[in-house]
Chain A
Amino acid sequence: MSSKIYITGMGMISAIGNNVAESLASLENSNSGIGTLENIRSRHKAIIPVGEIKASNEELTAMAGLLPEQQSTRTALLGLIAVQEALKTAGITDIKEFRTGIISSTSVGGMGTTENHWYEYLDKEKTGPWLKYIEAHECGDSTEFIADKIGIKDYLSTISTACSSSANAIMFGARLIKHGILDRVVVGGTDSMTRFTINGFMALMILDKEKCKPFDSDRQGLNLGEGAGFFVIESEKSAKGKEILAELSGYGNSNDAFHQTASSPDGAGAYLAMEKAFKVSGLKPTDIDYINAHGTGTSINDLSEGTAIDKLFSKNVPNISSTKAFTGHTLAACAAIEGIFSVLAIKHNMIFPNLNYVNPMTELSFKPTTTLEKGKKINHVLSNSFGFGGNTSALIFSRHQ
């Protein structure tokens, strides 16, 4: 059994880039991906800014190296593109060389297609190539699509715990390695923009009509995003001789048990999740050099998360920022995408800015980092992700020693 979890590969696609290198360039240059919705029709198009990937499903199909007839849901395509990059950086050419699994996560699954064809699905008289998307509605189908394309067979699963989903996928994958069930696992998440989520968040009245302002006292809500992020995590055995990008040193999941959609004001669940992650890692809060916060920009999240961080760090909060104003809130994918940003922070000794921040919150002791900081040695990064249903998760990424 491997006691350490090594990150050997990572891949992502979001509104700020089609791969890790493009995303890093956007982060360094404060290029936000938030803009106008183009790829799906919605009557809210003109009102809500989003973090959208400017490629059609046909273009994504080509980007993934597939034939037009192999096109799948946007969720599955985004996932495949990110996974392909992750495998490439991990230098994996023979997937069967070690016991390899995939733990993906998604909150919408194939809803993006279902919402376009629902009435056609129900009408026996109508038929078309879209019939193949009926099965693709299920969350697990996107995982099987990806697994089939890259040849993973040893273990497959999919997690859906709303906006903490990919943190939990990373955690489950790591535990499968620690239990000796698998040698390496592709872990992460994927979610595409849908009218379903746009309207859900509209109805909840937590979408900002302008670019989101995490941790600002004048914050008005979140911007939705879409994307996918995946890591290749490995055991000591399979990672031998490979370049280690970072280690996953800690993880924790807890439940706020306060409300189905709202976080508790004191962030009790968030606190517990972070505390567990520290316990697993054996680190102390003072070891953390940077916190990549969940920081959605909603009134409730930022207060709840900030309060929990203040408590855990005894108001000595290290550099902290939310990168949601770059990518938008990518839901199930956000923890993996922000996990990649955390690894980039370690690799390049950088702290990425919290965009659009002006006015400090009086309730919190800290102010987020608002400009790119370079040069400070980053050894340990804490990354939080919280979801509906009170689901709270925290991950700690550490420099490989």
Chain B
Amino acid sequence: MEAYIKGIGIVSPQNTFDTPDFLTELVEHNSKTLRCIEPSYKEFLNPILSRRMARIIKMSIAASSVCFKDAKIDMPDAIMTGTALGCLEDTEKFLVAIIENDEQFLTPTSFIQSTHNTVSAQIALQLKCMNYNFTYVHKGFSFESAVLDGLMTLAEGDAKNVLVGGHDEISEKYYRVCDRIGYWKKEEQVLTMDLINMESDGSIAGEGASFFVFSNEKTENCYAVLCGIKTIYKPESNAEIETKINELLHTKGLTTNDIDLVVYGINGDARFDKTYNNLKEGIFKNSTATYFKHLCGEYQTSASFALWMAANIIKRQTVPNAVLIGENKSKVIKNVLIYNTFLNTDHSVFLLSQC
């Protein structure tokens, strides 16, 4: 099972939307919450519709539109997205309205939009796309499930192009709620660009909407081949992680020595970063090391930002300085691995190769 990554559209806390730039002009967020840089929606949505829509829906519609344009397709044969929290803002809005108004005088708009599959449904509605439409909502496996489904759907032979997305939004209140259970750093001020050097517990919050067209057709503009994905639930040892990585590599006849570059989900959380360090200093000590969460923050579907980054590194054969850990050891970047975990519970590995 593999897929050509044919098009990408991404709204993130960096200038990543519909631009030829690749992480040269960085946005430094003076906050422990990295919010997305929103595009103008005029091109993608009529203003009346746009006013009623939550931020995450608009960002996702814009990102998927740009993704279709990039892939030069009008209609996907299937849509599968991953989101841990769905439409958080609308969920909070309806929840607070219920409590504040003692279950009276409620209008259904925010309830309707709070449904977890609103984004994939709205994309389908905009396109009048009646094809397969799935939404995965499993914490750090949400986007990963959508990716696996995308690969499976292409392998089943009925679909040529599928839209695979990952989207989650952060709200001020949800930040505060998760702060109570140790998600975020306690320091008043955090230099986000220095995240990798921090030794305290917790991370910084982020969000994003990233969409990909996976295809079984190779095109000239194709970014990379996604050769496979593996998820690991609550690994009990480093040996277990390494075994799973090797299993994935073996399906393509590769070994750890063939991996030119690794994208790590390092998030500056002293409790969890050792998982990445074990790989970086162990089986992948000869590979170029990169990371990304100082740019997009930590969130359940952040591997979608990593996939965008890895695909671009392969296509452009450049490694932006902003993401390098140590030196760039590779002249040619042929095989790239992404290793990510959310809270050390849900782990995932993606394998990409040059087209």
Contact = CB atoms under 8 A, between A and B. Distances in A.
Interface of A: 42-44, 106-107, 109, 111, 114-115, 118-119, 121-122, 124, 131, 134-135, 138-141, 143-144, 147, 153-162, 168, 172, 175-176, 179, 181, 195-196, 198-200, 202-204, 253-261, 268-269, 272, 387-391
Contact of A260 (B122, B127, B142, B300): B122
B124 interface: yes
Contacts of B141: 140, 156-158
Contacts of A161: 116-117, 120, 133-135
B111 A203 contact: yes
Given A131-B181, A255-B121, A158 B137 contact: yes
A268 B347 CA distance: 39
Given A139-B138, A200-B111, A257-B130, 6 more contacts: A121-B177, A122-B176, A138-B84, A140-B141, A153-B234, A391-B117
B233 A140 contact: no
Contacts of B152: 175-176, 179
A159 B136 contact: yes
B95 interface: yes
A138 B99 CA distance: 20
Given A107-B115, A140-B139, A203-B106, A255 B98 contact: no
A154 B156 CA distance: 22
Given A156-B138, A161-B117, A199 B103 contact: yes
14 contacts: A118-B96, A118-B99, A155-B231, A160-B117, A161-B116, A162-B117, A175-B152, A203-B106, A254-B132, A255-B132, A257-B125, A260-B122, A389-B121, A389-B133
A155 B99 CA distance: 37
A391 B121 contact: yes
A137 to B, nearest CB: 8
Contacts of A44: 103
Contact of B84 (A131, A140, A154): A140
What 8 A-B pairs have minimum CB-CB distances, sorted nearest first?
A: A389-B121, A200-B111, A140-B138, A160-B116, A203-B108, A140-B139, A158-B138, A139-B137
Contacts of A42: 103
Interface of B: 1, 79, 84-86, 94-96, 98-99, 102-104, 106-108, 111-118, 120-122, 124-125, 127-139, 141-142, 145, 148-149, 152, 155-156, 173, 176-178, 180-181, 231, 233-234, 300, 345
A77 to B, nearest CB: 19
A181 B104 CA distance: 48
B135 A156 contact: no
A131 B181 CA distance: 8
B130 A256 contact: yes
> Which residue, of B95, B106, B133, has the highest number of chain A Cβ atoms within 10 A?
B133
Contacts of A111: 95
B95 A172 contact: no
Contacts of B145: 157, 172
Given A144-B139, A161-B135, A119 B99 contact: yes
B130 A202 contact: no
Contacts of A391: 117, 121, 133
B130 A255 contact: yes
A255 B234 CA distance: 35
Given A131-B181, A200-B111, A390 B132 contact: no
